[in-house]
Amino acid sequence: DVKVTQSSRYLVKRTGEKVFLECVQDMDHENMFWYRQDPGLGLRLIYFSYDVKMKEKGDIPEGYSVSREKKERFSLILESASTNQTSMYLCASDPDGSSGNTIYFGEGSWLTVV
């Protein structure tokens, strides 16, 4: 069974703090993704990675960075958290790019910035 694990489920951070969201997958997938989900807006792609040390911007990369030092781990970094980054963050992995029927999501990380 594919497992995508987001280690932090619920976080409360202060404005200006640096925040790390960690994601690990155990199926040796090449592709990993970070999305954020806000009410009524659906999932929006922040960054994705097709390989170790490789990253590509998604639709809303501003205010975020990522790190992929190992194939199984994809980290999302908020360099200086702001209140408009309060959201639910979803990590995903996929062996086939972004095909829609082979993508697996983690359970989500709920971040509140105060």
| Sequence-ordered list of residues with C-beta below 8 angstroms from that of 61, at least 6 positions apart, any chain | 46, 47
58-87 binders of other proteins (CB under 8 A): 58-59
Nearer of residues 79 and 96 to other proteins, judged by Cβ? 96
Nearer of residues 14 and 100 to other proteins, judged by Cβ? 100
Task: Confirm or reject binding of residue 97 to other proteins (CB under 8 A).
Answer: yes
Q: Which of 84, 79, 78 is nearest to 113 (CA)?
A: 84
Q: How far apart are CA 8 and CA 24, in angstroms?
A: 11
Q: Which of 102, 90, 89 is nearest to 30 (CA)?
A: 102
Selected binder of other proteins within 61, 63, 95, 108 (CB under 8 A): 108
Stretch that binds other proteins, among 12-20, 53-61, 62-70, 74-82 (CB under 8 A): 53-61
Task: Confirm or reject binding of residue 56 to other proteins (CB under 8 A).
Answer: yes
